[in-house]
Structure 1
């Protein structure tokens, strides 16, 4: 029972509605009754909440193992869990079902990552990274400085009309103007950890020092991963990553990579034949040797591009969940496996 649920039950007991025996169970020490309840919508936030909360929280992730979080639908029990939780920790705009549950059931328990972290817009992640991909770095000049979206190689941006029309796709979800995949930027993920620790400390001040220490430990882990990426991707023959869907904008921006995708941020958007042909031509023109697939989402478009161009395929995991085909079993191991895949595919030294 979460702390919000316990407080509700205690209030009912106080006015004598419940019997003495009925009220006794909720206030016993030990077990989950002593822990805060945190509900998350996507695996990276589940991992973060478990790390920051430690032994003082119970974490329920609404998207089960192997589930594509973009397609999440909630059962009535799960919707109720959002309202009963001490903290509903989510990323607004990523999962419409979670947004709706928070809107209808949540309240002061809602903690949107967008209130803790400065998110980049889809247009920013499809635009300039502030770095120049020159002839001396990666072997060719793209003629533009796009880092994280699905702009084509002539330099114009597709599918960013303010309301976010899926790039190269037909239909799909509207994720709003912000790119929700912030966990692939370790600096932003660190800020989310610190913000969550602050919220847990407000609710449970007796364990504030533990939450702060746990957040510091997470910060160390994320800092190590950031250093490994910065060093591992510093000198590469190529900086182009062709991916199934545009989930890697934050990672591309942080480490000066150029993301190319046949679709936009929605993993289930259908690319147009023209867009597929355009990306395939880019692969040929720039001699891109690897096209990246994903363990959770449909990667048929990426596989088609690889087949048509003779490129290899390799798994690059956006860490949206942990699946049987994931290259690791938790956030740090998947991130490090991704780095190994990138350094091999891009010819980094």
Structure 2
């Protein structure tokens, strides 16, 4: 009998965690400055995507995925994330290409570049689809998930600890891609959904104090080394922090909630809003950057940063509010924007 916890109804803790993470995504995109120079962005980028990716992997149903055909998986993810992504991709890329044409920079190589490397934040959806297909293939071939996880963690460690110039060119090129070095977090989340992962998580109950301590120490080490330079210590701290953070977060999600605890999670305007944001995190992720996208196109962030911040915060807030308000109001919009 499987030890996997069933995920049949919506778990408010999942949506609450995703709500916090999507809020951090918005903040990270609004704040100006290089990730390696601006401390707020550096701190947010240290963990928000690895944790979001790990949670995404955990929410996959391996039994359902393994029993599905390639066409069925493709169709499911086309409607769930592919079509909403394609609409956002067409809008952002169309504006960028129009701007390039006005400046005389339009070329076939530019179009190809946007197709291979979508604008800014849009990388996540096509990368997620590749991860799902890779995971599906591993399940079909009955490849040991733990071996895939260990191999992927090794690749992530190489990327996080060593500068590209110190690696062979082919290796540096391979590990520099998000689809490669973030895959370990996706697989970790997926593995924690397996029987072995569930048993391992249950064993953490006897050492509850240790994982948070590891997270705090690793985070302190990583945050003390702000900058683009890589090292074994810094990369190891980053990898350890995120792996343990995923473990702790999923352990928290798995904790059985009483009716009273469910109400506590949902209590208050902030919690309700974050849970709702977590529920519609895809359209928020795709469209929250519109104000920043336009303002940066007009160079407002350089000439009048206070106007940039004001309009970005208000604009992003209005977009989030509109997406929360319109959810479920129109079947066509649900399909095109929300992926439901």
TM-score tier, shorter chain, comes to under 0.3
Structure having the larger proportion of residues in strand: 1
Please say which structure displays the higher CA radius of gyration: 1
Structure having the larger proportion of residues in helix: 2
- Structure with more relative contact order (C-alpha pairs < 8 Å, separation 6 or more): 2
- TM (normalized to structure 1)? 0.23
